Chain A
Amino acid sequence: MSFVLTINGRDHPVDASPETPLLYVLRDDLRLNGAKFGCGLGQCGACTVQVDGKAAYACLLPVAAAAGRRIRTVEGLGTAEAPSPLQKAFMVEQAAQCGYCIAGMIMRAQALLDATPRPTEAEIRAHMQPNLCRCGTHMRILRAIRRAAGLPVEAASA
């Protein structure tokens, strides 16, 4: 079946069976690398994108349910040459080890900052809870989010 996906402000016609999770369409049809396969079960957040402004697991969002909605991926924030403020904060904080989780982290954090520009420490941690990092980069990810939000980079008490 044909669908039109609105991704990062542009319409993309795609041809896929309606149940196909958005993740595979993004990666394989549209050649976008940001969203990653981590579990396919909505447990790790490596595939996180924004749908109508909210953080969503692309691995569990059928393309039929994604059509007609505003989809945003990490590629829509900025580029290596012109990164968005949040991407820039991740670079400044050197907030990656293997980095496999990072695009999903950025997209989930961006959804928080869009809704709550100056979140508390507890709000940041609660919001980021769905996304896993195995390298233990959490402290730097938190610093990057605080930096992008204009908060003191070191942790306040949660």
Chain B
Amino acid sequence: MSLGWKTPAPPAAALALALAACTGGARLPPPPPQTFSAAEIEKGAELAKLADCQGCHTADGGQAFAGGRPLKSPFGTIYTRNITPDPSTGLGRYSREAFVRALRRGVRFDGAELYPAMPYDHFAYADDADLGALYAYLMTRRPKDRPPTPNELIPPANIRGAVAIWKALFFHPGRFQPTPGQSAEFNRGAYLVQSLGHCGACHTPHNILDAEETKKPLQGGVQEGWYAPPLNALSPASVPWTPERVYRFLRTGFDRDHSAAAGPMGSVVRELARAPEPDVRALSVYLATLMQPASAAKGRAAPADHAAQAAAAQPAGAALYAGACAACHDAGAAMMREGRPPLQFATPPQEDRPTDVIQVILQGVQPATGPRGPYMPAFAGTLSDGQVAAIAAYVRARYSDRPPWKDLTSAVAKGRRQGGQG
């Protein structure tokens, strides 16, 4: 699948750019807030939602954009930075040019490298005008003096200079290319997915050095212990995704033919719920088109529910499920008559790996768009690894036609560590 996907620039050029960036740059004073036009600020506000800047740059309970949220990676924990216009700890140190350079090239105001936890490999594809609007919006937020929390990274990732090597190896941005023959809406969606939306940051597999495998765009990736399923022909969803269903999901975090947004997708939806409708429609059209081959292959087969066979194959899991899960997920439960889908409609039981079923049992689901919406309690504190594994095995057996997952108990232990439920 290469619909609208990136056209890489030659590595050498990227290396040269990265090295040039290291030499620093002019530290121009940022413009005062009143110099931004209202229209530009408004456009920036919309783009900030599409990019979910808040999701990463706001700590739990902290001021919006003031940073401090921990992001887990294979190399340790990175704490996001303050992007309010505070002059000493935030964006107040960035001129417009420095800001655009940071998003395009991953270079800090003082010339230091930015860790690729900041998805500049996507933002590099954004228009100058969009980045400028984003700057206008962020520079007109309420400044907050919040010094950075030190990162907790293992060597050599703890040396910022090492990022230059990483960039030389993996950071080769090109320009966004619209797909000829596709609608403007499709291409708008493609642009947003590839650039500010940075969907691939979670949904594209990452290599051992945590770089996106750009040859496998949107084929499914792991982020913060969750598996972000494929958004293309490999989509495992049991009910075909249509533009309308994708739209509903992106807008509300829930679609009655699929399931609820969980894990890191929650904050994405929280922002998309308030983003401009045409943009979310464009995202939906583009993503549904990518997933169309999977949907076509699925045909009209009814989603699986092998209750009796699953109970026979996984009796322990069946009993635990009946006491811990059935009050919401079995026929006759209140949730079932209120339009929350039975589990055979949910994507996690269909996935190749048990990651999401495990994480959703351990961490539960919080409503994406506010206090109201699909919720599931966390079981990390109450069920043992073996018990979670037994339930996962039963769910797989009952609600999918796919082969059983292997090594579930150790997968639960791993899931606990990655999800911070140790």
Whether B323 lies near A130 (C-beta < 8 A) is no
Question: Interface with A: B13-21, B294-302, B374-382, which one?
Answer: B374-382
Given the known interface contacts A60-B324, A130-B377, the answer about A158 and B382 at a Cβ–Cβ threshold of 8 Å is no
Query: Which of B327, B382, B387 meets A40, CB within 8 Å?
Result: B327
A34 to B125, CA, bound (A): 58
Whether B323 lies near A56 (C-beta < 8 A) is no
Whether B381 lies near A56 (C-beta < 8 A) is yes
Q: Which residue, A21, A43, A61, A122, has most C-beta atoms of chain B within 10 A?
A: A61
- Please give, as numbers and ranges, the residues of chain A lying within 8 Å of B7 by CB-CB distance: none
Asked if B320 CB lies within 8 Å of chain A CBs, one says yes
A63 to B316, CA, bound (A): 12
- Please give, as numbers and ranges, the residues of chain B lying within 8 Å of A57 by CB-CB distance: 377, 382
A63 to B323, CA, bound (A): 8
Asked if A114 CB lies within 8 Å of chain B CBs, one says no
The residues in A between 27 and 46 inclusive whose CB is less than 8 angstroms from any CB of B are: 40-43
The residues in B between 321 and 347 inclusive whose CB is less than 8 angstroms from any CB of A are: 321-324, 326-328, 335
Bin the interface of chain A by size. Answer: 20 to 34
Whether A21 lies near B323 (C-beta < 8 A) is yes
A78 to B364, CA, bound (A): 32
Query: Which of A20, A43, A55 meets B381, CB within 8 Å?
Result: A55
Given the known interface contacts A19-B319, A57-B377, the answer about A65 and B382 at a Cβ–Cβ threshold of 8 Å is yes
Complex interface bits, B363-390 against A, C-beta within 8 A gives 1, otherwise 0: 0100000000001110101111001000
- Please give, as numbers and ranges, the residues of chain B lying within 8 Å of A21 by CB-CB distance: 323-324
Asked if A85 CB lies within 8 Å of chain B CBs, one says no
Query: Which of A19, A41, A55 meets B322, CB within 8 Å?
Result: A19
Asked if B155 CB lies within 8 Å of chain A CBs, one says no
Asked if B181 CB lies within 8 Å of chain A CBs, one says no
Given the known interface contacts A65-B383, A65-B387, the answer about A18 and B323 at a Cβ–Cβ threshold of 8 Å is yes
- Please give, as numbers and ranges, the residues of chain A lying within 8 Å of B180 by CB-CB distance: none
A158 to B59, CA, bound (A): 14
Whether B381 lies near A65 (C-beta < 8 A) is no
Asked if B61 CB lies within 8 Å of chain A CBs, one says yes
Q: How far is the CB of B182 from chain A (nearest CB, A)?
A: 44
A130 to B322, CA, bound (A): 23
- Please give, as numbers and ranges, the residues of chain B lying within 8 Å of A63 by CB-CB distance: 323
Q: Which residue of A lies closest to B325 (CB)?
A: A60
Q: Which residue of B lies closest to A22 (CB)?
A: B323
Q: Which residue of B lies closest to A125 (CB)?
A: B61
- The prevalent SS among residues of A at the interface is mixed
Q: How far is the CB of B40 from chain A (nearest CB, A)?
A: 35
Q: How far is the CB of B192 from chain A (nearest CB, A)?
A: 34
Whether A60 lies near B381 (C-beta < 8 A) is no
Given the known interface contacts A19-B320, A57-B377, A130-B377, the answer about A65 and B384 at a Cβ–Cβ threshold of 8 Å is yes
Q: How far is the CB of B381 from chain A (nearest CB, A)?
A: 4
Q: How far is the CB of B324 from chain A (nearest CB, A)?
A: 5
Q: How far is the CB of A6 from chain B (nearest CB, A)?
A: 15
Whether A41 lies near B323 (C-beta < 8 A) is no
Q: How far is the CB of B231 from chain A (nearest CB, A)?
A: 31
Q: Which residue, A20, A57, A61, A65, has most C-beta atoms of chain B within 10 A?
A: A65
Complex interface bits, A50-78 against B, C-beta within 8 A gives 1, otherwise 0: 01001111011111110000000000000
- Please give, as numbers and ranges, the residues of chain B lying within 8 Å of A59 by CB-CB distance: 327
Query: Which of B319, B376, B381 meets A62, CB within 8 Å?
Result: B319
A36 to B364, CA, bound (A): 22
- Please give, as numbers and ranges, the residues of chain A lying within 8 Å of B387 by CB-CB distance: 65
- Please give, as numbers and ranges, the residues of chain A lying within 8 Å of B60 by CB-CB distance: 126
Whether B377 lies near A60 (C-beta < 8 A) is yes
Q: Which residue, A19, A51, A62, A64, has most C-beta atoms of chain B within 10 A?
A: A62
- Please give, as numbers and ranges, the residues of chain A lying within 8 Å of B384 by CB-CB distance: 65
Given the known interface contacts A54-B382, A158-B61, the answer about A61 and B375 at a Cβ–Cβ threshold of 8 Å is no
Q: How far is the CB of B366 from chain A (nearest CB, A)?
A: 10
A49 to B364, CA, bound (A): 19
Whether B377 lies near A18 (C-beta < 8 A) is no
A57 to B380, CA, bound (A): 11
Given the known interface contacts A18-B323, A19-B323, the answer about A61 and B61 at a Cβ–Cβ threshold of 8 Å is no
Whether B61 lies near A122 (C-beta < 8 A) is yes
Query: Which of A40, A43, A55, A158 meets B375, CB within 8 Å?
Result: A43
- Please give, as numbers and ranges, the residues of chain B lying within 8 Å of A19 by CB-CB distance: 319-323, 326
Name 30 interchain pairs, CB-CB below 8 A, sorted by A: A18-B323, A19-B319, A19-B320, A19-B322, A19-B323, A19-B326, A21-B323, A21-B324, A40-B327, A41-B327, A41-B328, A41-B377, A42-B376, A54-B382, A56-B381, A57-B377, A57-B382, A60-B324, A60-B382, A61-B323, A62-B320, A62-B324, A65-B323, A65-B324, A65-B383, A65-B384, A122-B61, A126-B60, A126-B61, A158-B61
Given known contacts A60-B323, A62-B319, A122-B61, what 5 new A-B pairs fall within 8 Å (CB)? A19-B320, A21-B323, A60-B327, A60-B382, A126-B61
Q: Show the binding face of B for A, using Cβ within 8 Å.
A: 60-61, 316, 319-324, 326-328, 335, 364, 375-377, 379, 381-384, 387
